[in-house]
Structure 1
Amino acid sequence: MLELACISKTFNPGTVNEKKALSGVALRLEKGDFVTIVGSNGAGKSTLFNAIAGAFYVDEGAIRLAGEDITFKPEYKRSREIGRLFQDPMRGTAPHMTIEENLALAYLRTAKNQNAFFSRTSKAEKQFFRDRLALLDMGLEDRMKQPVGLLSGGQRQALTLLMATLVPPKLLLLDEHTAALDPSTAEKVLGLTREIVAEHHITTMMVTHNMKNALELGNRTLMMDSGRVVLDIGGEERKGLTVEDLLKRFKAGAGRELDNDRILPSE
């Protein structure tokens, strides 16, 4: 489903602020893979997501999605096939628009017809929105005419998750999407993530600072350091790993210990 062929990216080349953010990252994901990604600040995790989503073009290498070369495809066109959630619950929604209008925009973002407008959503489509909202079990199906800005952070993040998967994308990128939420809300959103990804068999990449989640979620775990993938583990080998084992494997691959205060080893 996704192939990264030795992609590299350097910001501010030739200046005192030169930063090699990605260095020859090679990766291949099969359809339905759920990959968790761990690494310290500055390891290149969000930069990797930006490269895949098209926030910038890579300097070297190629990116292929479902067999199509998207290396130089504009970000707005990639968004029809790639869903993304950010750490900040305020991103990904239009606060002054209603819940229904936000869902309509998300639903029609994949429309190939240039005459498709969110104001023309049918009665059946609105009922579809209501049915999907009901699955969140947050009562949002009865608040469809309310502005999104009135929702709590957890409700907005759950809504954003629904918007990103309303039309199941080929690839879902989750960039620490529960990090800004309180523990109980984060667990609820994580549970919704599991259910939606499993229901639609969506190929998913999730950045997390929770080492326990990194081993329990999905079928594969990557660890990054200095713009490189230093560990890629899955299958039976991953099943028996503990958080301590994962930290040891990181040290072996990166040549140093994982030193980040935000890393949560056992929570």
Structure 2
Amino acid sequence: MLDIRSISKTFNPGTVNAKKALSGLSLHLDPGDFVTIIGSNGAGKSTLFNAVAGVFYVDEGSILLDGTNLTFLPEYQRSRMIGRLFQDPLKGTAPGMTIEENLALAYLRSTKGSAPFARISRKDKALFRERLSLLHMGLEDRMKQPVGLLSGGQRQALTLLMATLVPPKLLLLDEHTAALDPATAEKVLELTKDIVAKKNITCLMITHNMKQALELGNRTLMMADGNIVLDVGGEERRSMSVEHLLARFKEGAGHALDNDRILLS
């Protein structure tokens, strides 16, 4: 499904500020995999997402999604196959446009691509209203309101709906609940689990919560120094504690995890 083969990326090469962000990283995901990723700042988590999404091209290696070689495809073409949510609820939506207009943009991009004169029908609007009602936030009655009037949790839930309105081949969740208050974060996370499960979406999710990383999905990765140092799933993962996870990280990385945000979560 997703095949990442020995990708590397160095920023500012040949300068004193050179930084090797990814180093020969390989990863395979089967259809329907829900993989959580954990690691310290600078481990390469978001850089991996940016490489897959096409924010930049990798220096070496290749990225294939469902048989399509994405390695040198521009970001806008990948966005028709890949959905993404960011930590910042302000990203992913156009605040000056209405809820309906934001959904229309996401829907047309996924279904019509760059086709000229593409329009939203009355049937499409009914679909938007139906899907909004499933969020249980009353947004189906506010479709003509600007997105900028919504709370952070409402915007993140809307972004999730936009990213999955037409199920993507791959969904990237970059700590998408980290900026929300605990109650709202839990609600958005429950929505995420429900949508991903019902639509059988292949998913990669970055989290700073180790307990959450072991409970969600079917696999957990730990990253350090631009590579994957632990990939655990199946029965081993089901019986694994946070303490065991930390011990396994130390074995794979050669040093203990030293990120206070993760350790205190």
Shorter-chain TM-score tier: over 0.9
Q: Is the 8 A contact 1:108 1:116 kept in 2?
A: no
Q: What is the deviation of 1:152?
A: 0.2
Q: What is the deviation of 1:68?
A: 1.1
Task: Report the counterpart of residue 125 of structure 1 in structure 2.
Answer: 124
Task: Give the distance between the partners of 2:10 and 2:116, measured in 1 at CA.
Answer: 39
Task: Report the counterpart of residue 107 of structure 2 in structure 1.
Answer: 107
Q: What is the deviation of 1:113?
A: 5.9
Give the TM-score normalised by structure 1: 0.97
* Matching of residues 187-206 of structure 1 within 5 Å: 187-206=186-205
* Matching of residues 145-224 of structure 1 within 5 Å: 145-224=144-223
Q: Is the 8 A contact 2:171 2:201 kept in 1?
A: yes
Task: Report the counterpart of residue 7 of structure 2 in structure 1.
Answer: 7
Task: Report the counterpart of residue 231 of structure 2 in structure 1.
Answer: 232
Residue 22 (structure 1) aligned with residue 22 (structure 2): yes
- Say which SS state the counterpart of residue 259 (structure 1) adopts: coil
* Matching of residues 6-155 of structure 1 within 5 Å: 6-110=6-110, 111-112=112-113, 114-117=115-118, 120-155=119-154
Cα RMSD (Å): 0.9
- Say which SS state the counterpart of residue 72 (structure 1) adopts: coil
Task: Give the distance between the partners of 1:51 and 1:168, measured in 2 at CA.
Answer: 21
Q: What is the deviation of 1:114?
A: 1.2
Q: Which amino acid aligns with 1:69?
A: N
Give the TM-score normalised by structure 2: 0.98
Q: Is the 8 A contact 2:38 2:213 kept in 1?
A: yes
Task: Give the distance between the partners of 1:170 and 1:81, measured in 2 at CA.
Answer: 5
> Compared with structure 1, are the counterparts of its residues 168 and 48 closer, same or farther at alpha carbon in structure 2 (3 Å cutoff)?
same
Task: Give the distance between the partners of 1:25 and 1:209, measured in 2 at CA.
Answer: 21
Q: Is the 8 A contact 2:80 2:113 kept in 1?
A: no
Q: Is the 8 A contact 1:32 1:201 kept in 2?
A: yes
Q: Is the 8 A contact 2:64 2:71 kept in 1?
A: yes
Task: Report the counterpart of residue 247 of structure 1 in structure 2.
Answer: 246
Q: Which amino acid aligns with 2:162?
A: M
Task: Give the distance between the partners of 1:33 and 1:116, measured in 2 at CA.
Answer: 36
Residue 263 (structure 1) aligned with residue 259 (structure 2): no
Identical-pair percentage: 74
Q: What is the deviation of 1:264?
A: 5.0
> Compared with structure 1, are the counterparts of its residues 106 and 209 closer, same or farther at alpha carbon in structure 2 (3 Å cutoff)?
same
Q: Which amino acid aligns with 1:216?
A: E
Q: What is the deviation of 1:237?
A: 1.0
- Structure 1 runs of 4+ aligned residues shifted over 6 Å read none
- Say which SS state the counterpart of residue 173 (structure 1) adopts: strand
Q: What is the deviation of 1:112?
A: 3.7
